[in-house]
Structure 1
Amino acid sequence: MSSNPNEILTWGGVSVDPFDAVPEQIDIRDIAHSLSLLCRANGHIDHFYSVAQHCLNCEREAEARGLSLRARLYCLLHDASECYISDLIRPVKRRFPLYSEGEARLQQVIFQALGVGEPTPEEWDFVGAIDDSLLYHEFLNLRGTRVFEQAPPLRAALSYAFERPDGVEARYLSCYHTLSGR
């Protein structure tokens, strides 16, 4: 382990400064493992539902909408930075612009490390729209709460049931390998 107080030690044993990461430090196995153990909504839901499950559901929704493999891969990876910097809920994230800048930079490093390149603005807009749809439907299913006045579209039949983290981790990795061809 590094003596740098700004670094974390990943599941795979790599020391990473999340705000000064380099592509060689990024590993899809760390991402899948960590996201499968992080709970959405800071745990303010009916049962454990991981960030990895959310990402898998985003990818399924992208598939149901007929989006490209590349756009589906961005949906799967859109929260990958949370492996290194955790999941801040939107109301908190909005109040910390430096955090958001660091998160965006880290996400770019992750995309570079995984060989997927930068999403186009149109692709990132698709990801944002799907992420919002999932946010609404997750809260409706996991809290009985509507977070927007009008329900955004949802085309896929998704599950919000509890799943064991190790199974979610395996599905996340399998989905990544299928979509990326790696």
Structure 2
Amino acid sequence: MSDYILTYSKIKFFPLEPIMEDIKIEDIAHSLSLMTRVNGHCSHFYSVGQHSILCYREAKSRGYSERVQLGCLIHDASESYISDLTRPVKKNLPEYFAIEEKLQSVIYDRFGLGDLSDEERKQIENVDDTLLHYEFETLMEFPIFDVPPKKGMEHEFSLRDFASVENEFISVFKNLYNQEN
């Protein structure tokens, strides 16, 4: 068995030695639209793709740059190639962090975000944590933070068809990426 996965678009993708040209937004959008958040432990199916779209919307509502908005949309893109682990497990597997960081870095490079500043990365992380809090509060009735983080807008966490999430993800990406390049 080789060290590759076969993607939705039938590309042999090597997650440990990623080739930038093999990274396709269609593969990312499709995979993330079918991948559940919090290992599926929420009240209904809620995908990483839906989370990513809401992160983009939150960044936009805060008036963050289009670079940060795009960064928010694709911040979990590595998961489409290597899946994800829960935070308690992930923090005990430094090798996973290294693999994830390398892959996410190649993905950011692929889409023109390889030079994100520390401030832009902090904005993306803050948006991600904000959504995490409200996802848990809404979908699991369990707030993550004692003091709810400030949010720029209200978010809808209802059940969505994966195809609509996939299509919206690609549409948002194309709009932002075309403006950036």
- TM bracket (short chain): over 0.9
For the 8 Å contact 2:106–2:114, the answer to whether it is kept is: no
User: How far does the alpha carbon of each residue in 1:50-96 deviate from its partner, in whole angstroms, 9 at most, with x for none?
Assistant: 00100000011101111000110000010000000112121111111
2:23 corresponds to which residue? 26
Inter-partner Cα distance in structure 1 for 2:106 and 2:60:
25
1:43 corresponds to: 40
> Where does the alignment leave 5 or more consecutive residues of structure 2 unmatched?
none
Q: Counterpart of 1:53?
A: 50
Q: In the alignment, residue 142 of structure 2 is paired with which amino acid?
A: T
**1:143 equivalent in structure 2:** 140
2:151 corresponding residue in structure 1? 154
Helix, strand or coil: the match of 1:74? Answer: helix
Question: What's the CA shift string for 1:3-38, capped at 9, x where partnerless?
Answer: 51x211000001112111110110000000000000
What residue number does 2:66 align with? 69
Counterpart for residue 116 of structure 1: 113
RMSD: 1.1
The answer as to whether partners of 1:18 and 1:106 remain within 8 angstroms in 2 is: yes
Could you list the structure 1 runs, at least 4 aligned residues long, displaced by more than 6 angstroms after superposition.
Answer: none
SS in 1 for 2:46: coil
Return the letter of the residue paired with 1:144. Answer: E
Aligned pair count?
A: 179
